[in-house]
A and B are shown apart, each in its own frame.
Chain A
Amino acid sequence: MKLLQPHTAELVPGVFCLGLGGYMLLDVWSRPGIATKAAVGPGVFPVIIGAGLAVVGLRLCHEAWQRRGQGAPFPELDIRAAFQGALAFLVMILTLEWLGWVIAGTLMYATVAHAFGERRVFRSLLLGLGLTVATWWLFDRMLDLALPVGTVVEQVLTHFGYEI
């Protein structure tokens, strides 16, 4: 699966830096001036860094353009697997406060393991469950760090008479 031609892909870091630098400069310029007695206002460092990013971005684009496929071969990447992992991670984040640490974490664990080629899904689910329950017990109960129980889980538990 190829999203971009290799030599087009090499432009990505340059364009990213250029965009970020441009955004920073625009943001500083569009801000109203601030009355301060200090010799250096809050905008000086952002301008230096923004300008630096823009220059480095241009330079990276230039280098990528000069190489145009003749540079070092790009490492082979299985983008589909990385995408599955990134998506599983995002889904967990978005459902974390809703499904809770144990369920959202277990599902993410098994999906990422699957993306790595682990086909024993049931075993991955069990391992994920073990890990999330153990970490929840250790960190939430013993070390007083709050991990989300999950609003849905909480309702179900209260329904059956458990208090968390």
Chain B
Amino acid sequence: MDTFSALMHGFSVATTIGNLGWCFLGVVLGTAIGVLPGIGPALTVALLLPVTYGMEPASAFIMFAGIYYGAMYGGSTTSILLNTPGESASIVTALDGHAMARQGRGAQALATAAIGSFVAGTIATAALTFVAPLMVKLALLFGPADYFALMVLALTTVTAVLGDSLSRGLASLLFGLALGLVGIDLQTGQARFTLGIPELLDGIDVVVVAVGLFAVGETLFTLARHRYENEEIYALKGSKWMSREDWRRSWKPWLRGTALGFPIGALPAGGSEIPTFLSYLTEKRLSKNPQEFGKGAIEAVAGPEAANNASAAGVLAPLLALGLPTSATAAIMLAAFQQYGIQPGPTLFDKEPELVWGLIASLYIGNLMLLVLNLPLAGVWVRILAVPRPWLYAGILLFATMGAYTLNNNITDVVLLWIIGIVGFGMRCFSIPIAPCIVGLILGPLAEQQFRRALTISQGDATVFFTQPLSLSLLLIAAALVILPIILRRRA
């Protein structure tokens, strides 16, 4: 089946009334969650995992993808009006977006973000449609050693590129990898680090870790910072529409942002932070008035927001084609696949065409829904920001408890949630990034499996990772990603 007819089949899956409903629910939930400061798409998908257990996998993933995209839209609202980025990819938007809001041009900032996100999301989804099958062909060439090297590369980039301290990123990654070891070793049946607690034999659920770090840790941190933070919401006023001048200044940054966002998101380098920063720098360099940047230049909102959404589509390519998550949300989505007993990777496109193509088709539809939801209804989303913080965060803790308890109906998971929440609070206090921990937890066991498989095939010869060209080059890239920034920093 060629890509086009597969996509058409996907549309027939995604446009059933039920799936349209799930898509709508996903984008609405996602936008609301993106708007709320402090909670992001990874947490939402994690909390919804137990609820979706009885759903059709295709419907569940259509909803998850809606949440992922919706949160990208919603996040920009918070950055622009509140200057508190809802998720890390909107940090750049906050710079000029908030400056625009202070000048009473909040509505135009929101509009260029929403239209830019739509343009970027649609182009990037089209790119995903054609890149993912190509990636599958590439993935079929991979042996265990190459897979292991690829995972090392993904883990390295998540760790080394994000955050400003390599040791802090590594600490987070290794903590996640250590949590991933807990439970019965599948090859030998040996229990590892279970502390004699029978509930730990199955391992620590990624939902507990994600909810603990993102919801509990974040709530405790907000609690500790609450007295010192002053929030000021800028109301929307004046004309709601973008002027001709705004359009003229926005369309090129949208396209350039997309061109940066999708490839970087699709590489196992992943993440949406890098493309948003790159887009900002590009626009600043190309602009005739670079002095406006930081003081409310519309290009600085249009470009990064487009890059942000394009990379969200890009991240789905390695997730679906290689089973390789490169962001916290993608890691949770991988856990969701595992919940249904589905292994993402090259075989997914053959085994579950309805799921894959239904999901991709739903991205086109979700984007359109988001544009309609966000342009005229921006004012409604702003109102979510007015929920008093005490009630909002106390409610988040309630939902966190529910998510952890309903996983296995035992109290052990909730106690673990508390412990990991305390660790998460510590991580926030010492500004240790959280994404490496989540990606490490989910990729660690997979990497170990490939590592042992590769060494079993080579009969214990560890040079196997360096003698095969694919594996060697991937490991070299990973090493370069760690070493180059250090050298560059020394020189600077």
Check if A77 sits within 8 Å of B224, measured CB to CB.
yes
Contacts of A52 in B (CB 8 A): 170, 174, 177
Known: A13-B430, A20-B175. A113 touches B391 (CB 8 A): yes
Taking a contact as CB atoms closer than 8 A, the residue among B219, B395, B418, B429 that contacts A93 in the complex is B418
Instruction: Determine if A156 is an interface residue (Cβ-Cβ < 8 Å).
Output: no
Contacts of B227 in A (CB 8 A): 78, 81, 117
Closest to A144 in B: B54
Taking a contact as CB atoms closer than 8 A, the residue among A39, A46, A59, A77 that contacts B192 in the complex is A46
Report how far A109 CA is from B219 CA in the complex, Å: 12
Known: A75-B429, A77-B225, A78-B227. A57 touches B398 (CB 8 A): no
Of the listed residues A31, A38, A39, A139, the one surrounded by the most CB atoms of chain B closer than 10 A to its CB is: A39
Contacts of B391 in A (CB 8 A): 113, 118, 124, 127
Of B98-106, B282-290, B448-456, the one with at least 4 CB within 8 A of chain A:
B448-456
Check if A53 sits within 8 Å of B174, measured CB to CB.
yes
Check if A124 sits within 8 Å of B188, measured CB to CB.
no
Instruction: Determine if B466 is an interface residue (Cβ-Cβ < 8 Å).
Output: no
Instruction: Determine if B4 is an interface residue (Cβ-Cβ < 8 Å).
Output: no
Check if B167 sits within 8 Å of A112, measured CB to CB.
no
Contacts of B422 in A (CB 8 A): 86
Instruction: Determine if B124 is an interface residue (Cβ-Cβ < 8 Å).
Output: no
* B392 → chain A closest CB, angstroms: 9
Contact with A along B330-360 (1 / 0, CB 8 A): 0000000000000000000000000000000
Taking a contact as CB atoms closer than 8 A, the residue among A49, A78, A127 that contacts B177 in the complex is A49
Of the listed residues A27, A63, A81, A108, the one surrounded by the most CB atoms of chain B closer than 10 A to its CB is: A81
Interface size on A, residues (CB 8 A): 70
Check if A135 sits within 8 Å of B394, measured CB to CB.
no
Check if A38 sits within 8 Å of B188, measured CB to CB.
yes
Report the tally of A-B residue pairs with Cβ distances under 8 A.
193
Known: A93-B415, A93-B418. A85 touches B402 (CB 8 A): no
Check if B228 sits within 8 Å of A39, measured CB to CB.
no
Contacts of B174 in A (CB 8 A): 17, 21, 49, 52-53, 56
Instruction: Determine if B291 is an interface residue (Cβ-Cβ < 8 Å).
Output: no
* B44 → chain A closest CB, angstroms: 15
Instruction: Determine if B414 is an interface residue (Cβ-Cβ < 8 Å).
Output: yes
* B209 → chain A closest CB, angstroms: 15
Contacts of B394 in A (CB 8 A): 108-110, 112-113, 116, 124, 128
Instruction: Determine if B463 is an interface residue (Cβ-Cβ < 8 Å).
Output: no
Taking a contact as CB atoms closer than 8 A, the residue among A57, A78, A90, A109 that contacts B224 in the complex is A78
Check if B448 sits within 8 Å of A45, measured CB to CB.
yes
Interface residues of B in 445-474 (CB under 8 A from A): 448, 451-452, 455-456, 458-460
Report how far A50 CA is from B459 CA in the complex, Å: 25
Of the listed residues A21, A117, A146, the one surrounded by the most CB atoms of chain B closer than 10 A to its CB is: A117
Report how far A97 CA is from B401 CA in the complex, Å: 12
Check if A20 sits within 8 Å of B390, measured CB to CB.
no
Instruction: Determine if B388 is an interface residue (Cβ-Cβ < 8 Å).
Output: yes
Known: A13-B432, A40-B452, A42-B192. A139 touches B406 (CB 8 A): yes
Interface residues of A in 108-144 (CB under 8 A from B): 108-110, 112-118, 124, 127-128, 131-132, 135, 139, 143-144
Instruction: Determine if B364 is an interface residue (Cβ-Cβ < 8 Å).
Output: no
Check if A105 sits within 8 Å of B401, measured CB to CB.
yes
Report how far A46 CA is from B452 CA in the complex, Å: 13
Check if A97 sits within 8 Å of B411, measured CB to CB.
yes
Report how far A131 CA is from B397 CA in the complex, Å: 12
Report how far A66 CA is from B228 CA in the complex, Å: 28
Report how far A9 CA is from B388 CA in the complex, Å: 32
* A80 → chain B closest CB, angstroms: 9
Contacts of B192 in A (CB 8 A): 42, 46
Check if A96 sits within 8 Å of B414, measured CB to CB.
yes
Known: A46-B192, A81-B226. A132 touches B187 (CB 8 A): no
* B174 → chain A closest CB, angstroms: 5
Contacts of B427 in A (CB 8 A): 13
* B284 → chain A closest CB, angstroms: 25
Check if A96 sits within 8 Å of B411, measured CB to CB.
yes
Contacts of A36 in B (CB 8 A): 187-188
Check if B411 sits within 8 Å of A85, measured CB to CB.
no
Report how far A60 CA is from B448 CA in the complex, Å: 26
Check if B226 sits within 8 Å of A139, measured CB to CB.
no
Instruction: Determine if B254 is an interface residue (Cβ-Cβ < 8 Å).
Output: no
Check if A53 sits within 8 Å of B178, measured CB to CB.
yes
Check if B216 sits within 8 Å of A89, measured CB to CB.
yes
* A97 → chain B closest CB, angstroms: 6
Taking a contact as CB atoms closer than 8 A, the residue among A27, A34, A46, A81 that contacts B188 in the complex is A34
Check if B405 sits within 8 Å of A147, measured CB to CB.
yes
Check if A139 sits within 8 Å of B51, measured CB to CB.
yes
Instruction: Determine if B22 is an interface residue (Cβ-Cβ < 8 Å).
Output: no
Instruction: Determine if B248 is an interface residue (Cβ-Cβ < 8 Å).
Output: no
* B427 → chain A closest CB, angstroms: 8
Instruction: Determine if B483 is an interface residue (Cβ-Cβ < 8 Å).
Output: no
Instruction: Determine if B426 is an interface residue (Cβ-Cβ < 8 Å).
Output: yes
Interface residues of B in 154-176 (CB under 8 A from A): 165, 167-168, 170-171, 174-175
Known interface pairs A13-B427, A41-B188, A96-B401; 9 further A-B residue pairs with C-beta atoms within 8 A, sorted by A's residue number = A20-B175, A75-B225, A82-B224, A108-B394, A112-B390, A113-B391, A118-B388, A124-B390, A139-B51
What are 7 A-B pairs at a CB distance below 8 A? A20-B175, A40-B452, A46-B178, A52-B174, A56-B171, A86-B421, A113-B391
Q: Which residues of A contact B (CB under 8 A)?
A: 10, 12-13, 16-17, 20-21, 24, 27, 31, 34, 36, 38-42, 44-46, 49-50, 52-53, 56-57, 59-60, 63, 75-79, 81-82, 84-86, 89-90, 92-93, 96-97, 101, 105, 108-110, 112-118, 124, 127-128, 131-132, 135, 139, 143-148
